């Protein structure tokens, strides 16, 4: 299936079983994740590649899960935001898609 999904997962490890169910049932091509809170040595679900922001480290907030066999190339983002992006070539399609996963910092409203 050539489906792309975005999910604010609110913890990769705490929702890992739900993520695996989603991937197995829908055979998603790409999942853009926010609020991952990846732990040290976290591995992607079987059949998927985990793409982290360049220079990203464990504990990161965003990631892309890309189904193995899906052609992609990482996009080198020049930004201070925590973001990962890739250009994806989906099966049975002559089009390329640029897919980002980003997490914007929360801003506090100050009143004076």
Q: Residue 95 sits in a domain of what CATH number?
A: 3.60.10.10
pLDDT, mean of residues 77-96: 80
* pLDDT for the residue 28: 93
Non-local (6+) Cβ contacts of 46 within 8 A are none
- Whether residue 20 is predicted with pLDDT greater than 80 in this model: the reply is yes
pLDDT, mean of residues 82-100: 81
Three-class DSSP category at 33? strand
Do the domain assignments include residue 45? Answer: yes
Residues 33-81: tens digit of each pLDDT: 998 888 777 889 999 999 988 665 555 688 999 999 999 999 988 877 7
- Picking from 6, 68, 77, 72, the residue whose alpha carbon sits closest to that of residue 35 is 6
Q: Which residue range(s) make up the domain with 35?
A: 4-103
Do the domain assignments include residue 110? Answer: no
Q: For the chain, how many structural domains are there in total?
A: 1
Do the domain assignments include residue 109? Answer: no
Do the domain assignments include residue 39? Answer: yes
pTM reported for the whole predicted model? 0.81
């Amino acid at each position: 299936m050539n489906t792309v999904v975005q999910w604010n997962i609110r913890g990769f490890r705490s929702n890992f079983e739900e993520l695996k169910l989603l991937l197995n049932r829908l055979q998603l091509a790409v999942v853009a994740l926010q609020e991952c809170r990846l732990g040290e040595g976290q591995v992607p679900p079987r059949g998927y590649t985990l793409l982290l922001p360049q220079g990203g480290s464990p504990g990161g907030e965003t990631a892309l899960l890309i189904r193995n066999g899906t052609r992609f190339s990482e996009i080198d983002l020049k930004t201070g935001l925590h973001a990962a992006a890739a250009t994806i070539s989906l099966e049975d399609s002559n089009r390329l898609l640029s897919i980002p996963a980003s997490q914007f910092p929360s801003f506090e409203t100050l009143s004076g």
